[in-house]
Chain A
Amino acid sequence: MKAVAFAYARATSVVNALELLAAHGDKAKVLSGGQSLMPAMNLRLLSPDILIDIGGLAELRGIAVRGDVLVVGALTRHVDLLGSPEIALHAPLLRDAVAHVAHPAIRNRGTIGGSLAHADPASELPACVLALDATIVVRGPAGERRIAATEFFKGIYETALSPDELLVAVEVPVAGQGTAFFFQEYARRHGDYAIVGLAACAVVAASSFSDLRLGFFAVGDRPVLAAAAGKLINASVTPALLAEATAALADELDPQEDQQATAAMRRHLAAALLRRCAAALLARPELEKGATR
């Protein structure tokens, strides 16, 4: 478990990083927190010719509110999301999600940009940015591109990012009046990748949803913004309607089978999460048990 020898460059600026990416293309890998990249290299699953370390780029760090947008720098570490008052106030979903990401040692190094660019379909933050309707900001030789989170994830470890582009920030709309969040995942152990997880963002008014965005993860090759949510928006949520929504969800999802769960179990757990989410956000515990039991 020793990585193949590789060259290493520590970028001095975003511009410099982009130059290095332009020079090396897909032979290069960007090193951010390194929590997924380094194990993959040590297992020789990846053997880039060169690592471009962006760890020194202060311009990619930090969390700021600009108008009604919360801007999170790509190098913001998980531990910073956990402790940030801005995140707690404007996007507490990220804080709640990050508490489930691995363990403190990993959260101390892992970054939001790294997690999104890595695009592991079982990881928490990609689903969160879907639910939050966030925008991914990338920079490349041609300048800046802003990609809707819904357009960003393309498959397992695949994103809309080109090899010569760098993910620089995430923009999250500031939570408005009546916005509520729900985050839960089922994992065998604390810190494991989820078997199924849900990051949800809702606007609750008069005991119903005027908006509901359900970001499921570990249910396919990328995070899924579930269309089934539409059934619950601007409707009186009864157990029967919720059952209709969970049935629609089961149809919509196409989860994989792996060592932790069959596809059927993933559908079952996703439905349980949806019920728990609705029950929690509407403060109606009786919804949790479903209509049929």
Chain B
Amino acid sequence: MTVTRPPAGMLSVLDRPNSYIGKTVPRPNLDRLLQGRGQYVSDLELPRMAHVVFLRSPYAHAKIVAIDADVAKRMSGVISIVTGRELEAVITPWVGVLSHLKGLKSAPQHAIAVDRACWQGEAVAAIVATSRAAAEDAMEHISVDYEELEAVTDMRTALDPATHVIHPSLGDNLAFERTLNAGDVDHALLGSEVVEADFVFGRHTGVTLEPRAVVADWSAAEGRLTIYQGTQAPHMVQNIAALHLGLREAQVRVICKDVGGSFGIKVHIYADEMATYALSKLLRRPIKFVADRVESFNTDIHARDHRCRGRIGVRPDGTITAFEIDDLTGIGPYSMYPRTSAIEANQVVNLVGGPYLTPNYRARARVVFQNKNVMCQYRAVGHPIACSVTEGLVDLAAARIGMDPVEIRRRNLIADDAYPCASPSGMKFEQLSHHASLAKLLQMMDYDALRAEQAALRAKNVHRGIGIASFIEVTNPSAAFYGVGGAKISSQDGVAVRLDAQGSVICQTSITEQGQGSESLTAQIVGSVLGVSMDRVRVTLGDTDNTPYGGGTWASRGAGIGGEAALQAAKALRQNILDVAAAILQSTPAELDIVTNSIINAGDGAPRMELNELARIVYFRPDTLPPGIQPELMATRHFVPRQYPFAFTNGIQASWLEIDTDTGFVTLLKHWVVEDCGTIINPQLVDEQIRGGVVQGLGAALFEKCIYDERGQLTNANMADYLVPMSGEMPDIDIGHVVSPTRESELGAKGAGEAGTAGAAAAVANAVNDALRPFGTKITEIPLTPQVILTALGRI
């Protein structure tokens, strides 16, 4: 699309007298949520609604020989017990591949396992009853005859010829492999110091406050399925449900009101959700599935289980000459549907070395199948891996040549005036600000003073460390992410705005709200561009019947894509309003403006007419309008980035922490982030997104890990043993900004949702190594538990 920008010095469409852009205004949904009036699927009750509970495989890999549910079927409250074989008649299996991820393969996955369960937690039967408790009672009386099969659990041996092949039809356990060779790595490394390390990342998961929840309601009378679901992508759910139930999309409506947290966990299609849709169709009544906490740990996608060998070349003057990685990740028995489980490894390849100048980069990533829960995209997909490997290597290189970690970055980060440019992996950068961000970070943290404090404390046997991590972030994804690979996941979004009969505005958007402020940013943009106060803007989202078609909210796309659609729709409506106003007021649109709910003279600001009055005339006295005028007080616009596949953002983080070398415990003292997400619509929402993201990254750094035993049993599937980050351990997180708007949209906003998560663990790991430098240790494994640190120190 064409973007119009005012010449310098003139007001843009956003800099208007009652603009809300760049202002911290309260979120419109705040009172509703705080007063307990949120509408979560977990709370939804419908007439004749039944509850489904899934009997899940206790084995990581087992043949299902027989299922005996005779006793259970006769129990009180039980409506039906359905096996995978029986459900097959209603819903077809799927294969999670995308054509642009060449060579990616996976096996057909069923809504409920047929013949064989491939991970501990895969559903093998559905128990539908009048209450969840009744269904759980019945579940205890189903006996399943399993024949345990060999489980593939260690990704390092998954490709060995001696290892059992999980899906014989695929030939081996390799789901996907990508290699990249840019520049001349071998030549570059010849004249360099080469530092190498193995980076190990724990498997973890999203742990949303509200678990996955769905109510599916098949109306045989209408031939229509209504799905109430806490999802990030309602139109994607509509498409997939229709496809596998043999319906047209028009026969499926997806409603998604409030969602208690997503973090990427709820952007996928889960087998148990598909089973719930199918059960509703089969049993012709509303069926509710709400995952309990144990099920959440066993079935919500996991992420980040990577082992990555990294190498870096560096010259004595600090020039980084090359990066090389060999990444291995295990994704469970199936590639997740429909986004696939190859994206994270693919992102790692795309992003390693991204902030730096060197053109020499070689990478291999392999994605293997295992008999563990499925892995897929979770907040900041691939970024924490890529950032930890890159920044860990940069720090190791600096230590090797005796250079300060800041100095090596200063010498190697891409210059702020070098854009547009591309990374060795082909990522196109429109405008980044690594050096401005670094300068701002150093000033915020008072780097030199901190180094002095560190040295002084070291003399007293107090071990503190400073860790720095630059990063780039993928936001505003175009069709390059999924669409080109054949997935029916929209990369465009739409917004419709209309003036009601009293001059208020109703706005429908295809982006969704999971707590990050989509509703607020949409209202802020529409209110600002139209000239209407925010209290008169009502935003509707999360309903495939009542919003334009669009992608939803994921990959930091809501503000940048949905926000631009809102801006363009509001601009169009504004023009339509001014056309009508000019006719009524015997003026011209150019001579008029809308400010704070009134038509005014653009020249002298004199009030001419309230919007309320204009709406009254248009809707109730159109007979008084001049002939030939047909007012259109509704406008719809869509937007998708076309010029750049992604709007890359950048930033830098720093961690300041202390290690008790006697006990291995790490105390986080302070964390800083400088981030560049382009135009900031609501500073508070952006800062809190970043803080929340940092906390998620700190969880990965110190706490979170799904611990499997060698038989593929998840051994810590509860909130006592799986440690999420909590406020008591979190440091203050200071946030600063550099603003480089994208010129691909008039709004100029890029995403901010994943920046915090991208670099937090890398900053902490670097700080831990910095603190322990006097001990000669090198730790490249997260989470950095006391056990890991004491072991590295040789204390145990």
Contacts and interface: CB of A to CB of B under 8 A. Distances in A.
Interface of A: 1-5, 43-44, 186, 188-193, 195, 259-262, 264-265, 268-269, 272, 289
B289 interface: no
B274 to A, nearest CB: 22
Contact of A269 (B663, B721, B785): B663
Contacts of B459: none
Given A186-B665, A190-B728, A272-B663, A262 B707 contact: no
B795 A268 contact: yes
A4 B786 contact: no
19 contacts: A2-B131, A2-B132, A2-B133, A4-B137, A43-B718, A44-B136, A186-B663, A188-B702, A188-B703, A190-B728, A259-B707, A259-B716, A264-B796, A265-B786, A268-B795, A268-B796, A269-B663, A272-B662, A289-B461
Contacts of B136: 1-2, 44
Contacts of B785: 188, 260
Given A2-B133, A193-B720, A272-B663, A265 B728 contact: no
Interface string B711-726: 0000110101101011
B616 interface: no
Given A1-B292, A1-B293, A189-B703, A262 B796 contact: yes
A189 B729 contact: yes
Nearest to B134: A2
A64 B599 CA distance: 75
Contacts of B723: 188-189, 192
Identify the 4 closest CB pairs spanning chains A and B, nearest first: A190-B728, A2-B133, A1-B292, A264-B796
A103 to B, nearest CB: 9
Contacts of B725: 189
Chain A facing B: main interface SS: loop
Contacts of A262: 787, 796
B706 to A, nearest CB: 11
A5 B140 CA distance: 13
A8 to B, nearest CB: 15
A43 B293 CA distance: 10
Contact of A265 (B132, B703, B796): B796
Nearest to A1: B292
Contacts of B728: 189-191
A263 to B, nearest CB: 10
B294 interface: yes
Nearest to B137: A4
Contacts of B664: 265
B790 interface: yes
A260 B787 contact: yes
Nearest to A288: B662
A265 B137 contact: no
A5 B133 contact: yes
Given A5-B133, A188-B785, 10 more contacts: A1-B292, A1-B294, A43-B294, A188-B703, A193-B720, A195-B786, A261-B786, A262-B787, A265-B796, A269-B663
Of the listed residues A3, A4, A5, A269, the one surrounded by the most CB atoms of chain B closer than 10 A to its CB is A269
B179 to A, nearest CB: 36
A188 B666 CA distance: 9
Contacts of B294: 1, 43
A272 B796 CA distance: 12
A101 B791 CA distance: 28
Contacts of B461: 289
Given A1-B293, A186-B663, A269-B663, A259 B721 contact: yes
A46 B131 CA distance: 20
Of the listed residues B137, B662, B723, B725, the one surrounded by the most CB atoms of chain A closer than 10 A to its CB is B662
Contacts of B662: 272, 289
A3 B790 CA distance: 41
Contacts of B137: 4-5
Nearest to A290: B662
Nearest to B721: A259
A38 B9 CA distance: 65
B71 to A, nearest CB: 16
Contacts of A3: 133
A15 B137 CA distance: 34
A218 B357 CA distance: 51
Nearest to A190: B728
Interface string B697-713: 00000110001000000
A248 B790 CA distance: 21
Interface in B738-796: 785-787, 790, 795-796
A253 B662 CA distance: 19
Of the listed residues A188, A193, A260, the one surrounded by the most CB atoms of chain B closer than 10 A to its CB is A188
A4 B716 CA distance: 23
Given A1-B293, A5-B133, A261 B703 contact: no
Nearest to A268: B796
B663 A190 contact: no
Interface string B266-304: 000000000000000000000000001110000000000
A104 to B, nearest CB: 12
Contact of B790 (A1, A4, A188, A268): A268
A84 B256 CA distance: 49
Contacts of B716: 259
A190 B726 contact: yes
Nearest to A195: B786
B786 A186 contact: yes
Interface string B115-148: 0000000000000000111001100100000000
B346 to A, nearest CB: 31
B729 A190 contact: yes
A43 B721 CA distance: 14
Contacts of A268: 790, 795-796
A261 B787 contact: yes
Contacts of A188: 702-703, 723, 785-786
Contacts of B703: 188-189
A190 to B, nearest CB: 3
A240 B195 CA distance: 42
A59 to B, nearest CB: 33
A164 B552 CA distance: 59
A125 B140 CA distance: 36
A284 B68 CA distance: 68
B296 to A, nearest CB: 10
Nearest to A272: B662
B715 A259 contact: yes
Contacts of B718: 43
A131 B663 CA distance: 23
A195 B790 CA distance: 14
Contacts of A186: 663, 665, 786
Of the listed residues A2, A262, A264, A289, the one surrounded by the most CB atoms of chain B closer than 10 A to its CB is A2
A2 B726 CA distance: 26
